[in-house]
Amino acid sequence: RADAVHVRRPTGRALELAVHVDPDTDAPERAAGCVFNPTGRALSMADMRVPLHYAGLRPLERVRVGWTGSLRADAHAQPWPVPEPRTHVLDATSCLAALGNVTLRARSFLCFVVATVATQHPQQPQPR
């Protein structure tokens, strides 16, 4: 049901980034993405930004990004690093989520889910 957006075009020589977006405003999860390293060496993406306007989100909206990744360890039995979940505020003009620096080991992937963060509205005084 969701549309796919290729943020980084697949070349086989660099990190690839695709995001599936769901503009359904009733769904808390609005996007799911995958960053993939198809090469035989570790690669980094500085200041990874993901466009979320197709997900029905608005500038300055708060979102929570949760991560998961490759489920195996490398040859030295070290687990592959996965970023900690974080709350982000979307860019004021372009509705981009700045997810920070990402490093992936050879032939690995990271997946993320973007969910809206419920805003706390102040209590309205009750009429007397």
Residue 60: pLDDT band with limits 50, 70, 90:
very high
Q: Which pLDDT score is estimated for 122?
A: 46
Structure tokens belonging to residue 112:
């993320």
Query: Which pLDDT does position 121 carry in this prediction?
Result: 46
pLDDT of residue 74: 56
pLDDT given for residue 98 in this prediction: 87
- What separation in angstroms does the CA of 64 have from each of 25, 72, 73, 74, 91? 15, 25, 26, 29, 14
Report how far residue 4's alpha carbon sits from residue 25's, in angstroms, rounded to the nearest whole number.
17
Q: What is the pLDDT of residues 12-49, one digit of tens each?
A: 999 999 999 988 888 889 999 999 999 999 999 888 88
pLDDT in tens, 62-118: 999 999 887 555 555 566 677 888 999 998 888 888 888 888 888 888 999 999 997
Backbone angles phi, psi at 76, to 5 degrees: -100, 10
pTM of the model as a whole: 0.80
